[in-house]
Amino acid sequence: MPVFLRAPAATLLFALAVAAAGVLRVSAQRHVPADIEDELDVPPIPGEIAKALSFGFHSLLADLTLLEAIQILPQRHGDMTPEVAGPLDRRLYRLLSYSVEVDPKFAGAYRFVGAALPHETMDGKVYGVLNAVQLLEKGLRERPDDWHMGFLLGFLQSYYLHDFSAAARSLSVAAKQPHAPPWVGLLATRLAAQGGELDVATSLAEAMLAQANEEETRKQWQERVDALHMERDLRAIEDAARRYREARGVVPRSVQALVAAGFLPAAPREPHGGRYLIAADGSVSSSAAERLRAYGLATKFEIH
């Protein structure tokens, strides 16, 4: 009798084990985190429509999507491969884009964009810069009164993209805001000079000098005006030296030689009290001050 009872008991136990395994599997599947690409990250309603239907509460919806983006950021680590970080990057961009679409004046979201989207990987590549620039350009249009917009945009344009002229224009907008620190304008003029827009840089510096009330601030801006005038002179001498060399086959020995040969109308006065010097290779410098430069042009980033 016991022999006949073992087979049904074993079958029953096996069936119970299979059922238990099934229950555990279903439970485990419920607790597995959803794939980051499959998660519902933004409402299914387009941002512009959601703004119209929010009955004045669009800022609340923008806050919620920003908070979700803030919660995602800690999941991304510097040692992640692009394949792993990519879904997180895309979700961050969707959330932040939706946030400023619902509330275009949301300064906090734009500031978070500048900090969260751009990031470098271990192999020297940079991700998220172009998306961040796109959103910050919108931020500068919508909130020019917030100096952080122009500063963050200008930083990305100069540091990663090496578009110094565009960066100078962005920072110039920021520098003119009432609460912008003085160094924002100083950086704007430096970038404009490096980008070749000396007229823009000089106009901004002279305007800021005229508006400065504190003695230390006036001193800083006077120094910048002098530096820009020096840069203008150096470029004029460089151009004259190039034409002299092309015409005569040798490098001019001095600024006076350029004037005597008719390649320069007159010897410009160095605003710091020094002299302009021409080196054997044709480069021009001042004996009293360094030229305005921002970033080394040799530094290049691989943008993705």
What phi and psi values does residue 161 have, to the nearest 5 degrees?
-95, -15
Residue 250 located in a structural domain: yes
Asked if 86 and 76 count as a contact pair (C-beta separation under 8 A), the reply is no
Domain membership of residue 270 (yes or no) is yes
How many helical (H) and strand (E) elements, i.e. helices and strands, does the chain have?
A: 12, 5
Residue found under tokens 């119209």: 52
pLDDT at 13 over 80: no
Q: Does a structural domain hold residue 272?
A: yes
6 lies in some domain: no
Predicted pLDDT of residue 300: 66
Measured torsion, CA atoms of residues 138, 143, 144, 146, in degrees rounded to the nearest 10:
-120
Q: What is the mean pLDDT of residues 127-136?
A: 96
Distance separating alpha carbons of residues 27 and 261, to the nearest angstrom = 90
pTM: 0.72
Q: How many CB atoms lie within 10 A of CB 242?
A: 14
Nearest to 261 by CA among 276, 243, 283: 243
pLDDT bracket for residue 285 (50, 70, 90): very high
pLDDT band at 78 (very low <50, low <70, confident <90, very high): confident
Note whether residue 171 is domain-resident.
Answer: no
Which among 250, 267, 263, 304 has a CA at the least distance from the CA of 119?
Answer: 304
> Across residues 292-304, what is the average pLDDT?
63
The reply to whether 203 falls in a domain is: no
CB neighbours (10 Å) of residue 39?
12
Q: What's the pLDDT score for residue 120?
A: 83
Of 3-7, 203-207, 275-279, which gets the smallest average pLDDT? Answer: 3-7
pLDDT 10s digits, 229-251: 999 999 999 999 999 999 999 99
Structure confidence at residue 106 (pLDDT): 94
Long-range contacts, 151-158 (Cβ 8 Å, 24+) = 151/180, 151/184, 152/110, 152/111, 152/113, 152/114, 153/114, 154/187, 154/188, 154/191, 155/114, 156/114, 156/118, 156/129, 156/132, 157/133, 158/191, 158/294, 158/295
Number of domains within the chain: 1
- How far the first Cα of the chain sits from its last, in Å, is 75
| Amino acid 145: pLDDT | 95
What is the residue range of 283's domain?
232-292
Range in 31-35, 234-238, 263-267 with the lowest mean pLDDT: 31-35
Query: Residues of the chain with pLDDT > 90: what percent?
Result: 50
286 belongs to a structural domain = yes
pLDDT computed for residue 16 by the predictor: 41
Tokens of 252: 């001019």
186 found inside a domain: no
CA 90/CA 248 separation, integer angstroms? 59
- The pLDDT value given to residue 137: 97
Strand, coil or helix: what is 119? strand
Q: In which band, very low, low, confident or very high, does the pLDDT at 62 lie, cut at 50, 70 and 90?
A: confident
Least confident of 78-82, 205-209, 253-257: 78-82
